[in-house]
Structure 1
Amino acid sequence: MQKDLVNKVAADLFSIPALSSRIVRSKFTKVALANIEVSMTPLHFEILNLISEEGSLPVFEIGKRLVLAKAHMTQRVDKLVENEMVRREPDLSDRRVTRITLTDPGRQGMDSLYSIISDALEQALSSLSETDLMELSASLNKIRNILPKMMHS
């Protein structure tokens, strides 16, 4: 019984990031990206979001985290550099490595996108009943409290 429950929870846990990412990317990110001046795909947004969260990152690390081949990374980063959203910088500790950093316009663009996505998300959440919102909030709080326990086992 315990093993079955563990398997079910593992499958459920594995599905949550993909599901939430797909919902946010398809419904909210695309809407936000359609309302900005710069031509950008959801994948460009994911790259910018990762750099925004982590600071400067090597190109290979971004590709690894987003599961993208180096050729795809080069094309995506080239487009972001062309749009002045990021810049390439040499790594100070390893000159073979190129790091990608948000520019000021990139940071401002991300702030604007976060605001648009947040507004769209709030609007979508407002369509839920109060009961659904309370259950969702409680569930997310439980997940946020329980997941760190897995790190210590």
Structure 2
Amino acid sequence: MNKKQELPWDNPRFRNWVAVARACHAVERAVAAALVPLDLKPAQLDVLMNLFRHPGMSQHELARKLLVGRSNITMLLPQMEKRDLLKREADLNDKRIMRLKLTSAGEKLLMKALKVHTALIEQVMGQSTPAECDMLGDQMRRIAEALKTD
């Protein structure tokens, strides 16, 4: 880059994107810290939330929803199953497919975690007016759609 070219940090889009990335990282750290007393990690919370909303989904479907590889899910589920947070059952029509369901202990832990998570979201998003919050959400959905690879 020569001195006549605009440097990326002089570009408002670049600066604002860095601000979005920093905010996202700060929220991720805050969520992780808030979940420590529940002995829960953010990835585990994602699993619990998805299984609550979509009981019986397959491991493959869960991996796609969470935008991670199946190997990530395969490593995470046994730990959660051992803690009695979820159970894996063979699909009735295809024994190769494992269906996932929350246990009552998993649902109870999820409800506690949702209170913590929701309070943090309220704190963070409370920095914006309802209109600003809606505008931010619309913009993030457009970005996600523009980068969608499926």
Q: CA deviation at 1:119?
A: 1.8
Q: Classify the secondary structure of the residue corresponding to 1:101.
A: strand
User: Matched residues in 2 for 1:110 and 1:89: separation?
Assistant: 20
- Are 2:74 and 1:74 aligned? yes
User: Matched residues in 2 for 1:52 and 1:21: separation?
Assistant: 24
Q: Classify the secondary structure of the residue corresponding to 1:57.
A: coil
Aligned mate of 1:136, from 117, 132, 142? 132
Q: CA deviation at 1:137?
A: 3.9
Question: Is the Cα–Cα contact under 8 Å of residues 85 and 103 in structure 2 kept in the other structure?
Answer: yes
The verdict on how the C-alpha distance between 1:73 and 1:125 changes in structure 2, with shifts beyond 3 A counting, is: closer
2:49 aligned partner, one-letter code: N
1:82-101 deviation per Cα after TM superposition (whole angstroms, max 9, x unaligned): 11110011112222211111
Q: CA deviation at 1:103?
A: 0.6
2:132 aligned partner, one-letter code: L
Aligned mate of 1:25, from 4, 23, 28? 28
Q: CA deviation at 1:21?
A: 6.3
1:11 alignment counterpart? none
Q: TM-score, normalised by structure 1?
A: 0.65
User: Matched residues in 2 for 1:21 and 1:102: separation?
Assistant: 28
Q: TM-score, normalised by structure 2?
A: 0.66
Alignment of 1:106-145 (within 5 A): 106-126=106-126, 128=127, 132-139=128-135, 143=138
2:88 alignment counterpart? 88
2:98 alignment counterpart? 98
User: Matched residues in 2 for 1:21 and 1:90: separation?
Assistant: 37
Identity among equivalent positions (%) equals 17
Aligned length: 124
Q: By percentage of residues, which structure has more helix?
A: 1
Instruction: Name stretches of at least 5 consecutive residues in structure 1 with no aligned partner.
Output: 1-14
Aligned mate of 1:35, from 34, 37, 53? 37
